Structure 1
C-alpha cells in the first residue's frame, strides 16, 4: 500500500522536491483568485530541499496548506487581515466619493441619513451591531460584489463597522461639498492600497521554532493517531494564519485572544471554538514544558460561553428507539442491521462498533461479549480514553436477534462489518456513522436537531441506568466513559459478571409491543 501513497515530486531540472496536487475543475477560478491569478489548475508547493528524507518530513505541512486553500476556495469565504479591511473600506469610500462629488446631493437628506446611522449607536456604549449590519448591508454587499469577494463572518463584522464610520465621514464630506467647500479630502490619504484578497498580508519573520515543526515533535512523542494529527495540524494552521507567523515564540496571549474573538464573531458553535482552544492550550503547554518557548501564551485565555438549554442533546425516546430497532430488522446492509441494536444495549460509540473484528465477538466466562480493544483490531484503530478499552456484555435481545448467526457467516480473521469502507484515516466508524445518520434522518424521519443520530444511544443508556439505579461506576465500565475520580482507577475494575447483570436489566424497547402482539384474543 505504501507505493500508492502520495510522494514528494522531484523537479527534473532543479532537483528540488515539491508537493503537487491537481485542483478540481470547479475550484480552479476560486483557487486562482486566492493566489492572485485568474485560474489555477495545480497547487505546487516547494519543499525547499533536495533530500527525499527531509522532503517527506515537510510533506504533511504542504498537504495541510493545500487543504486549507482548497477548503477556503470550496466555501468561497476568505479571511481579511486588518490592513485589507481598512483598504477595502477605503476603496468603498473612494468610489462613493468620486461617484457623488460632482453632484453631492441635498445636505438635509444627508442629515436624515446621519440620523439613521446615529440610531445604530447605543447611548454612549458603542455600536448596536445588529442595527449596523442591517443599515450598512447594502453598502457592504456592493463592494464585495464589485470585487467578486466572499468573506468570513469575522471579516464581514469588521468591514461593516469600518464602512459604517466611513459612511458617516462620507456624508459629512458630501455636505461640505454641497455647501461649496471642495478642499481636498485628507481622509483619502489614510487608506492603504487595496491589492485584493489573493495577496497575503505580510508575514512576521520566523526566527524561532515553527509551530508546525514543534507539533510534529509533539505528535510523535504522544503517538497521536493520524486523524488527530490531521485535525490538530489544521487548527494550529488556522491560528498561525490569523496571527501571521509560524514563530511559536512570537505568538502572544493577545494574539490568541484575538483569534478566539474572531472565532466567536464568525458564529462557530461553542463546542467547536472550545475544542480549538483545547488544542492550542495543550500545544503551548507542551511547548513550554519542553522549553521550546519561554512562556505559555494560552495559559490564561478563557472561553466560557453561556449555555443555551435549547441547544442541548437529548436521548432517543422509547418510541424513537422502537422505530429504529424495528426498521433495522429489515436492513440488508449489515452495519445498519446490527449497529443500532448493539449501540442501544451497550452505549458503545459507533467507531467502537464499526471497527470491531469478527474475533471481538466472543464467549468469556460463559458470557457473550463484544471486546473493544485496539490491540486486536486493524492498524490505526484507537479509543477515546483508557477507560474505553473494555469488554462489554451483549444483551440477550441482541443474541435473540441472531447476531451470532451473522458472525458465523464471516471470515474469522476479518472485520465485523467488511462492507463499510475505511475512511482516509483507516477507520470504518466515520463512514458507518455517516450512512447510519443519514438513514435515521432521511429514511426514518427523526430530524430533531437536538438528536445526534448515533450518540443519542449513549444518552439513552445513561438515562436507563439511572432509572434502574445502576451505579455510575458500572455504567462507565459499560459505555467506556472516562473515570472522573482517581480513586475509581484503583483495583481491577468492575467484574464482567456485575456488568452482565446490569446489562440484563436494560429493557428491550420492542418487548412490550411484541408481547401485546402475541397475546391471544379473548
Structure 2
C-alpha cells in the first residue's frame, strides 16, 4: 500500500523510494557537480516508520531543490550578490552556526579527527597538481588548494560537508553564482578550524574560541527581524527540554519550513494573522487537516509557548490559531479495535515461525503475543532485552523501562508474562539470546548522531515496523495500517 505523499512511495521489497527529475535547463551542470543527470533518487530501507520516512524525504527534497535553484541562479545571474568581504563575514555566521549545532554534545573526538582526515585526504588532496606531488616540500602550506580549478572541483563536496544549503535556508538567503562560490570558498577555508574546535570540545576542552572574533561584520545582507530566528528557537527548545528523539525528527521539517517562510521577520516578528495564514495554507490534498493540527500546529504552539514562558519572545502567535478537522466517517463496526477474527488471524499467523532464528523472525513470532497479553505497544516490546526478563520469586516478568528505549509515560513498569507465553517456549528463546536485544541486532555498537537536532534512529524502530508487515501482507489479508498502529 503506497503512502499518499508527494514523490514518496513504498518499494516492492519494503521501504520507500522517491524520485526527483532533474530539469533539462540545469541537467548538464547538475551532472557535472553531482554525477546524476536524469533524476535524483532516495531509497529508504525497509522497516523505516512512515514519520521518519516523511522527515527524511522532506529534507532530501529540500536539498535537491536548493541545488536546482542555485544552479538556475548561477545561469541567470540571479540571487543576492556578495563582496569578498561580506562572503567572509557570512562564513563567520556559518562558523558560529556550525559549531553550535554540535558543541553541546560533540560525541567522540575520534569522529572529528576522521572528519578532518576525510576533508583533507579524500576531498582536497586528490585535486593536488602534479608539481606538488613531485615536490610537496616546496609548498608546505598547500597554497595550491586555493587555485580556482581546485576550488571549483572541491566546492560541491565542501558544501555538503559544511551543510551550506541548510545554513542558507536558515538565513533565508539566496545567492547569485559568484556570491555562492565566494561564500563556499570562505567556508572551505574555515571548515577545518571548526572541526578542530569540535574535536577539542569532544576532548573536554571548552576554552574560549577566538575564531569568531576574526570575522568582519556582515554589512549588506538581507533585511531580517531582530532577535532569534524560528530555527534557533527550535534549537534552543531541543537543547533545553530534550524531547524524545522521535519528536525531534518529526518536528524538524516543521521548523525548517517555518524558517523559510519567516526568515525575514524572525520568530518575534510573526503576527497571529501571519501564523494563521501559514498554518491554514499547509492543508492540501497531500497533507490532511488532522496532520496539520496534530503535528504542525502542535509543534509550533509548544515551542513558541516554551519560548514565551522563558522570555525569548514577546508573544506566542500560534496560541489562538485553530484548525478545523472534518469528522472522519467510520465504517468499521468495531472502530479501530480488532475484531475477534482479526486478532485470531494475527496470532495464528505468528505461529508459522516455528523455529525463528533471525531478529526479524523472532519479532514476527513473539511480538504479537506479547502485545496481546500485556497491552503494551509494539515499540515498547521490540526494544526489550534479555536482561529485562526477570524471575521474581517464581513470577516471570518483563520490565518496560526507558533505559531500553522510548516509553510513552517515560516511567518504567513491570508486567507479568502470561503463562501461555511461557508455555509456548518464550523463555527458551530468551535464554538462548542472553542479556542482549531480543528483536534486533545489537552485536556491534551503534554510531550515535552527535547532532541533537538530527538524532539517531533507535535500532528497535525497524523491528517495530517489521513486527506485522510480513504477517499482514501474506497471512492476515487485512489492512496493514489498521494492524500496525503502535
TM-score (norm 2): 0.52
2:484 equivalent to 1:453: yes
- Given the alignment of the two structures, is residue 428 of structure 1 paired with residue 459 of structure 2, yes or no? yes
- Cα pair 1:212 1:246 within 8 Å, conserved: no
1:310 is paired with a residue whose SS is coil
- Paired residue for 2:298? 278
Distance in 1, Cα, partners of 2:239 & 2:331: 37
Within a 5 Å distance, the mapping from 1:144-223 to structure 2 comes to: 205-223=224-242
Q: Are residues 1:251 and 2:279 paired?
A: no
Contact 2:382-2:438 at 8 Å conserved across structures: yes
SS in 2 for 1:371: strand
Question: Which residue in 1 is equivalent to 2:421?
Answer: 398
C-alpha displacement of 1:363: 1.9
* Secondary structure at 2:305 match in 1: helix
Question: CA separation of 1:32/1:285 partners in 2, compared to 1, >3 Å: closer, same or farther?
Answer: closer
1:323 aligns with 2:345: yes
1: CA distance, partners of 2:428 / 2:376? 21
Report the equivalent of 2:68: 33
State yes or no: 1:292 paired with 2:312: yes
In the alignment, is residue 48 of structure 1 matched against residue 91 of structure 2? yes
**Aligned: 1:57 with 2:100:** yes
User: Per the alignment, do residues 39 and 51 of structure 1 end up closer, same or farther by CA in structure 2, a change over 3 Å counting?
Assistant: closer
Return the alpha-carbon distance in structure 2 between the equivalents of residues 234 and 311 of structure 1: 33
Tell me, what secondary structure is at the counterpart of 2:352?
coil
For each residue in 1:388-446, what CA deviation from the matched residue of structure 2 results, as whole angstroms up to 9, or x when unmatched? 5311121122111111010000132x112233898973413321132234213321243
State the shift of 1:310 in Å. Answer: 2.8
Partner Cα distance (1:362, 1:382) in 2: 20
Does 1:384 pair with 2:408? yes
The residue that corresponds to 1:355 in the other structure is 383
Answer whether contact 2:290 2:325 (CA < 8 A) is retained. no
Q: Which residue of 1 aligns with 2:369?
A: 341
| Alpha carbons 2:398, 2:417 under 8 Å: kept | yes
In structure 2, the CA distance between the partners of 1:238 and 1:453, relative to structure 1 (3 Å rule), is same
- C-alpha separation in 2, matches of 1:68 and 1:305: 35
Secondary structure of 2:398's aligned partner:
strand
Contact kept, 8 Å, 2:245 with 2:456, in 1: the verdict is yes
Q: CA 1:383–1:278 in structure 2 vs 1: closer, same or farther (change >3 Å)?
A: same
1:363-396 residue CA offsets vs partner (Å, 9 max, x unmatched): 2353221111123x2xxx222224x531112112
- Asked if residue 241 in structure 1 is aligned to residue 260 in structure 2, the reply is yes
SS at structure 2 position matched to 1:368: strand
Structure 2 SS opposite 1:48: helix
Would the aligned equivalents of 1:208 and 1:249 in 2 still touch at CA under 8 Å? yes
Hey, what's the Cα distance between the residues in 2 that align with 1:308 and 1:226?
Answer: 30
Worse overlay, 258-267 or 416-425 = 416-425
1:49 CA displacement: 3.7
Does residue 310 (structure 1) correspond to residue 334 (structure 2)? The answer is no
**Counterpart for residue 444 of structure 1:** 475
1:416 aligned to 435, 438, 446, which one?
438
Give how far 1:224 is off.
2.2
- Of 392, 407, 412, 2:430 maps to 407
Deviation at 1:351, TM superposition (A): 1.5
For the aligned residue pairs, the C-alpha RMSD in angstroms reads: 3.8
State the secondary structure of the residue aligned to 1:362: strand
Deviation readout 1:144-186 (Å, 9 max, x if unpaired)? xxxxxxxxxxxxxxxxxxxxxxxxxxxxxxxxxxxxxxxxxxx
Q: 1:325, CA displacement in angstroms? A: 1.4
> How many equivalent pairs are there?
293
Q: Tell me if the contact between 2:283 and 2:292 (Cα under 8 Å) persists in the aligned partners.
A: yes
Query: SS in structure 2 opposite 1:417?
Result: coil
Structure 2 equivalent of residue 195 of structure 1: none
Specify every segment of 5 or more residues in structure 1 that has no aligned partner in the other structure, as ranges: 1-20, 70-201, 456-522
- 2:193 match: none
Q: How far off is 1:203 after superposition?
A: 6.9
From the CA coordinates, give the structure whose radius of gyration is larger. Answer: 1
Quick one: distance in 1 between partners of 2:378 and 2:317?
A: 36
Distance 1:291 1:50 in 2: 24
Distance 1:307 1:63, change over 3 A: farther
2:404 is the alignment partner of 1:373: no
SS in 2 for 1:444: helix
Please list, as runs of the form range in 1=range in 2, the aligned pairs for 1:98-177 lying within 5 A after superposition.
none
Aligned 8 A contact 1:32 1:38 in 2 = no
Secondary structure of residue in 2 paired with 1:306: coil
TM-score (ref. length: structure 1) = 0.49
